[in-house]
Amino acid sequence: MGQKCAILWGFVGLVVLIFGIITPTVFNIILHQEMRKMLPLVEGTTTYELWRDLPVPMQIQLWVFDVINADEVMDHGVKPYVVEKGPYSYRLKKKKENITFHANSTVTFRQVSWYYFDRELSVGDENDTFTTINNILLGAAYMTRFEYPIIKELTKLLLESLGGNLYETYTVRDMVWGYEDPLLKIIKDDILGAFNLSYTLDDHFGFFYKWNGSDDGQFTVFTGAEDLARLSKVDTFNGLTDAPFWSTPYARMLNGTDGTFFPPFLDKQKPLFFYSPDACRTLYMDFDRENTVKDVGTYRYTLPVSLLESGRVNSNNVGFCTPNAHFCMPSGVLNVSGCRMASPAIMSYPHFLGGDPEVINGVNGLHPDPLHHASILDLEPTSAVPMEVAMRLQIGVYVSNFSNIRQLEHTRTYFHPIFWFNESTVITDDLAGRLRTELVEVVQAVSVLHYVLPCVGAVVVLICVVYTLHRRKRQRKNTEHPETETDSRDDDPRLVT
């Protein structure tokens, strides 16, 4: 290899070295530009079509808690014993409707949900029965606990005249989707009806009553057109800039996204925030570990224990104590009575996962297990596209003793689970394949080039430098001792004739 050749190869190696070093920077610039084209929630982008009408199959599964010693609980105040029954599965379809774009790069919409019972994936029919709390009876006692004695006495007489018990047997369909309640019907027809006020009360009750074919509120979120870091972040919910049910600015804030999408380029050190109408508050998820879903690397996030810590333990959660800081519940439960018509409703993780022992041990038959009861969210880290979602939450009630009401005079204070649900989805093979081909494999290739090209370039440059130095050393040596080369030729026996 001559001197010119060495210089040429050295130049090539230097170019390769520099190109390898700057490749990630150039690629990131190009990647950010492409993301700004693809991700904003505006008509014509790939993300907009997915956001408007989610093409992935979704389902929601329910597990109910059947109380098997209801008589002993009511008559002798013993601890309830529950047996979990489920799942009862529903196919879930969600679609954005009434979409309106605004000049400040926000969009307003309502997300409508439809539920279709799936018998094949269920343990039984929706007509299966289970015994649980009489929520209307308990709610009536709870709502009048701070009222004047005359109101309490009227409530007592009304409840006794109906003859209902603290625990009743219901079908899964009735408890979830609604049934006509006799107490509500009397209040509506005979009490409010006498004053032509019956329209103010619905005589049906169900935890998901009127949810089928309806929406959970009006969201206004940022499209990300001006700033991808604000993609899908909530501006207002039902026209409000905060959640008025809570008592501190931290608790009331509408922080994060609507939960459908998240801004790209995830940072493991930062939690993901989203507003949940079900919980009436902002929730957050912490990075748990790196994972793989359908051959795509993901960041897995989970709902942390700190989210439901008592205000007595976590000062950030004081605002969730209802009605004020003197009424903080134990860790593991969220009092949502403020946004559930003042009923004693609570929300928690399934089986009170992460809750205080007094909460978990207040009912026999609970077995909290992170593997089955923790919520998970797997996102592709560059685009933040959801790969797998399993949001698991539990609905229950707070039960306490009311000595003036016959049905509650023997009860102890405890937190009673009614059912828990898992709303889940996994990206389709087609979408996962497109994501791998169009993004993940490209990012991986650039990552490989970032390490390989500098190494190759450095090696080539090093070889050329060593060769050049060695060649110059030989040239100097030959210049200083020319006779060595001449003598060696003269003494070569092959030159003797």
pLDDT at residue 198 tops 60 = no
Confidence category of residue 486, pLDDT binned at 50, 70, 90: very low
For residue 114, the cross-strand partners are 93
Residues 422-431 have a mean pLDDT of 94
Structure tokens that stand for 395 in this block: 């609905």
Q: Coil, helix or strand for 359?
A: helix
C-beta separation of 288 from 271 below 8 A: no
* Whether pLDDT at 29 is above 80: no
Four-residue CA torsion sign, 238, 244, 249, 250: negative
CA neighbours within 13 Å on the CB side: how many for 98?
11
Give residue 488's pLDDT band: very low, low, confident or very high (50, 70, 90). very low
Query: Whose structure tokens read 């700004």?
Result: 36
- The more confidently predicted of residues 482 and 413 is 413
Lowest mean pLDDT: which of 38-47, 93-102, 142-151, 406-415?
142-151
Q: Which two tokens stand for residue 21?
A: 């070093």
Query: What's the pLDDT at 14?
Result: 58
pLDDT of residue 446: 56
> Where does the pLDDT of residue 497 fall: very low under 50, low under 70, confident under 90, or very high at 90 and above?
very low
Distance CA 249, CA 319 (A): 8
pLDDT tens for 327-339 read 899 999 999 987 8
Least confident of 123-127, 137-141, 185-189: 185-189
pLDDT band, very low/low/confident/very high, at 8 (cuts 50, 70, 90):
low
Compute the average pLDDT of residues 183-202: 66
Nearest-angstrom CA–CA distance, 187 and 39? 51
Quick one: tokens of 459? 């090696």
- pLDDT value at position 259? 92
DSSP string, 406-466: GGGTTPPPEEEEEEEEEEEEE--HHHHHHHIIIIIHHHHHHHHHHHHHHHHHHHHHHHHHH
Selection from 264, 233, 228, 302 nearest residue 384 by Cα: 264
**Is the pLDDT reported for residue 241 higher than 90?**
yes
Q: Environment class of residue 476 by beta-carbon count within 10 Å: exposed (0-12), middle (13-18) or buried (19+)? A: exposed
Question: Is the sign of the CA dihedral 8, 12, 18, 21 positive or negative?
Answer: negative
Q: Is the pLDDT of residue 105 over 50?
A: yes
Residue 485 has pLDDT above 60, yes or no: no
Is pLDDT of 38 > 90? no
Quote the tokens at residue 71. 């008589």
**pLDDT at residue 456, rounded to an integer:** 61
Residue 258 has pLDDT above 50, yes or no: yes
- Give the span between the Cα atoms of 325 and 321, in whole angstroms: 5
**Range of weakest confidence among 86-95, 104-113, 334-343:** 334-343
Q: What tokens were used for 360?
A: 């978990």
The pTM score is 0.83
Give the integer Cα–Cα distance in Å for 74 and 72.
Answer: 6
The set of long-range contacts for 352-361, using a CB threshold of 8 Å and a minimum separation of 24, is 352/394, 352/415, 352/417, 354/305, 354/308, 355/308, 355/330, 355/331, 356/310, 356/330, 356/331, 356/332, 358/330, 359/330, 359/331, 359/332, 359/333, 359/415, 360/332
Asked whether the beta carbons of 200 and 192 are under 8 A apart, the reply is yes
